[in-house]
Structure 1
Amino acid sequence: MSHPVPAKSALIGALTTIYVVWGSTYLAMRVAVESMPPFAMAGARFLIGGSMLFLLLAARGGGRTTVRQWIDNSIIGTLLLLGGNGLVAWALQYLPSGVVALLIGVGPVFIVLTDWAWPGGERPTGITLGALLLGFGGIAWLAAPWEQGAGATLHAGGVMVVLAACVFWAVGSIYSRHAKSGASPFMSAAQQMLGGGAAVLLVSWLTGDLARLDVGAITTRSWLAFGFLVLIGSLVGFSTFVWLMKNAKPALAATYAYVNPVVAVLLGWLLLNEPITGRTVIAAAIIITSVAIITTQKNRGRLTTPPRQAVVPPADETRHS
């Protein structure tokens, strides 16, 4: 079924919303974990967001679902939210929000490799393989493992955790493409947030992360950041992305993958006084170039967009979120 062509102003407004909202979620997560345990914060965030979306759908008569849909979307939500967003929230305790955004910008590298390894997956071209090496070069330059002890060296554990989060997100994204879910995009997102949020809270309890939660010690700025993540990062950002996927070409909707890291770095510099060094600028250029090459190559077949840290892709739509 064809969709009416939207006004140019509507497309520009939607793209601007995605660029700013999803680019700012790294900063919001960084502020939220200042006084909230990371896994407890992430789990509560997605449980609340998923509950709000599910209740809204139910009130409008769209709450019908099956056990199979719950199982598939809970698995996807666990991979994306526990393995992806949960690990990112932990890493933000040790890394600047802009650096985390840049590291996640190389997520398509892992998506390409996962898609290649998946049964019936697509083999990357030589150009794509070259772009993979370029992306890893950008990460190496950013993390500077050869400068141990230098003041500019990043927290090595934080860097590795963010890269692991990219792997989990890639597996969850490719799995969602093959899942036989008949749920609507909005219902898929609600189920993924509920299932994934519950998994994150379970890990928070098992690791003692939840025991460190002191509601009375949570600062006003952390509460505001948390509210922003629930209402703006998840509900507004996700709704806008769904609209874009239905009304714009996938390649256009995927441009947020290039813009979000730049927005995150600038906001971290403006609001949190996070430094922008020459190393950061060079790494940003390398990583974004790598992502652009990979996504362009994928677009010749079927486009796989990279993950977004703050919002879950529906099980029945391919993607960064």
Structure 2
Amino acid sequence: MPGPRRFPLPLIAAFFALYVIWGSTYLVIRIGVEYWPPLMLGGIRFLAAGALMYGYLRWRGAPAPTWVQWKAAGKIGILLLTFGNGAVTVAEHTGVASGVAALAVATVPLFTLLCGFFWGARNTRLEWAGVVLGIIGIAMLNMGSNLQSSPLGAALLIFAAASWAFGSVWSKHLPLPQGAMASAAEMLIAGAVLLVGSALKGEHLDAMPPVEGWLALAYLAVFGSIIAFNAYMYLLKHVRPAAATSYAYVNPAVAVLLGIVFVGETIGMEEALAMLVIISAVLLISLPQWRKPKPDLG
């Protein structure tokens, strides 16, 4: 009789980083944009995190990415970090509550499923039911006061989720650098692009940020980028995309709770109902993925 299936410790740690640490970053972004322009905040965050990781990995003897790998990392970094995380940061700067932002990003598994069509993925009826339910949830979310008061924020959040999903699926088909070097290269390129965007937009600091602003930046760079993002990239290589994006079940609840406790955010009945609908949709989509045997990657 076979013994119980073991769940490796690295996977447990990676899922914890996604579920808890990433859930907290929405609140920290909300705090950060009070002191930093949004594109500048994202650019410094990813450039600093990428530089630290790249330097450490090279010091440990990791090979530098090839030109082909740099190009692949640039594509994924721009999709996930410049467009994905950058759009979330700008949306929160427009006034969208951190919990609502996390809830909108919870639609990533829906877009992940749809993006699979580009590589011939076939979906079950249960997964299609999840997509339909998810679309209903998105509509309900947009009826809430948070997003109705910020149409730009609503559009940015949906764009961020779609971009993140496409990049997540595409990353499995590109010649990325090995291991954590992929994350370092992606952050370096994404951070540089965000800072260029910040300069073109004319962002500037009116005054040097206080300690709270620097702590928010440091938390996002170390915990949100180096730890949590690497955990996400690790999971993309070791579990199915739907499992890797399962943080969408937990992040909204973590973000809403932290927003209420620490900055007094509120969500209306529409957002609360939308949360239930979207999380139910994500569960419908992900259940068949969890049941499928993991393909042999050789």
> TM class by shorter-chain length?
0.7 to 0.9
Alpha-carbon shift at residue 12 of structure 1 (Å): 5.4
Alpha-carbon contact 1:26-1:101 (below 8 Å) kept: yes
Partner of 2:253: 262
* SS across alignment from 1:178: coil
**Following the alignment from structure 1 to structure 2, what is the Cα–Cα distance between the partners of residues 79 and 152?**
23
Residue type of the alignment partner of 1:234: S
Alpha-carbon shift at residue 267 of structure 1 (Å): 0.4
Residue type of the alignment partner of 1:156: P
Residues 1:199 and 1:7: Cα distance change in structure 2 (over 3 Å): closer
1:213 to 188, 205, 208: 205
- The 5 A counterparts of 1:15-34 are 15-34=15-34
**Following the alignment from structure 1 to structure 2, what is the Cα–Cα distance between the partners of residues 188 and 78?**
13
Residues 1:61 and 1:30: Cα distance change in structure 2 (over 3 Å): same
Alpha-carbon shift at residue 25 of structure 1 (Å): 0.6
Residue type of the alignment partner of 2:184: A
Partner of 2:178: 184
Partner of 2:66: 66
**Following the alignment from structure 2 to structure 1, what is the Cα–Cα distance between the partners of residues 87 and 140?**
22
1:203 to 183, 197, 200: 197
- The 5 A counterparts of 1:1-321 are 15-93=15-93, 94-116=95-117, 118=118, 120-144=119-143, 153-181=148-176, 183-209=177-203, 212-214=204-206, 216-241=207-232, 254-301=245-292
Alpha-carbon shift at residue 253 of structure 1 (Å): 5.6
Identity %: 37
Alpha-carbon shift at residue 246 of structure 1 (Å): 7.9
Residues 1:244 and 1:161: Cα distance change in structure 2 (over 3 Å): closer
Alpha-carbon shift at residue 217 of structure 1 (Å): 3.9
Alpha-carbon contact 2:33-2:41 (below 8 Å) kept: yes
Bigger mean CA deviation after superposition, 68-77 or 106-115: 106-115
Residues 1:82 and 1:250: Cα distance change in structure 2 (over 3 Å): closer
Residues 1:113 and 1:239: Cα distance change in structure 2 (over 3 Å): closer
Partner of 1:310: none
Residues 1:169 and 1:247: Cα distance change in structure 2 (over 3 Å): closer
**Following the alignment from structure 2 to structure 1, what is the Cα–Cα distance between the partners of residues 146 and 163?**
30
Alpha-carbon shift at residue 11 of structure 1 (Å): 6.2
**Following the alignment from structure 1 to structure 2, what is the Cα–Cα distance between the partners of residues 151 and 229?**
24
Per-residue CA deviation, residues 209-267 of structure 1 (Å, 9 max, x unaligned), is 3xx233x3423222211110011111222344566678889876654221111100100
> Where does structure 1 lack aligned partners over 5 or more consecutive residues?
304-316
Alpha-carbon contact 1:40-1:213 (below 8 Å) kept: no
**How large is the Cα RMSD of the aligned pairs?**
2.8
Residues 1:283 and 1:302: Cα distance change in structure 2 (over 3 Å): farther
Bigger mean CA deviation after superposition, 280-289 or 216-225: 216-225
Bigger mean CA deviation after superposition, 53-62 or 199-208: 199-208
> Where does structure 2 lack aligned partners over 5 or more consecutive residues?
none
Residues 1:80 and 1:245: Cα distance change in structure 2 (over 3 Å): closer
Per-residue CA deviation, residues 101-151 of structure 1 (Å, 9 max, x unaligned), is 0000011121211221x1x32132222222112112112112217xxxx78
Following TM superposition, the consecutive aligned residue runs of length 4 or more in structure 1 with deviations greater than 3 angstroms are 4-8, 10-18, 150-154, 238-255, 298-303
Alpha-carbon shift at residue 92 of structure 1 (Å): 0.4
Q: Which has the larger share of helix?
A: 2
**Following the alignment from structure 2 to structure 1, what is the Cα–Cα distance between the partners of residues 11 and 146?**
43
Total equivalences in the alignment = 290
Alpha-carbon contact 1:75-1:196 (below 8 Å) kept: no
Residues 1:6 and 1:172: Cα distance change in structure 2 (over 3 Å): closer
Alpha-carbon shift at residue 202 of structure 1 (Å): 1.3
Residue type of the alignment partner of 2:126: I
**Following the alignment from structure 1 to structure 2, what is the Cα–Cα distance between the partners of residues 82 and 122?**
26
**Following the alignment from structure 2 to structure 1, what is the Cα–Cα distance between the partners of residues 250 and 202?**
36
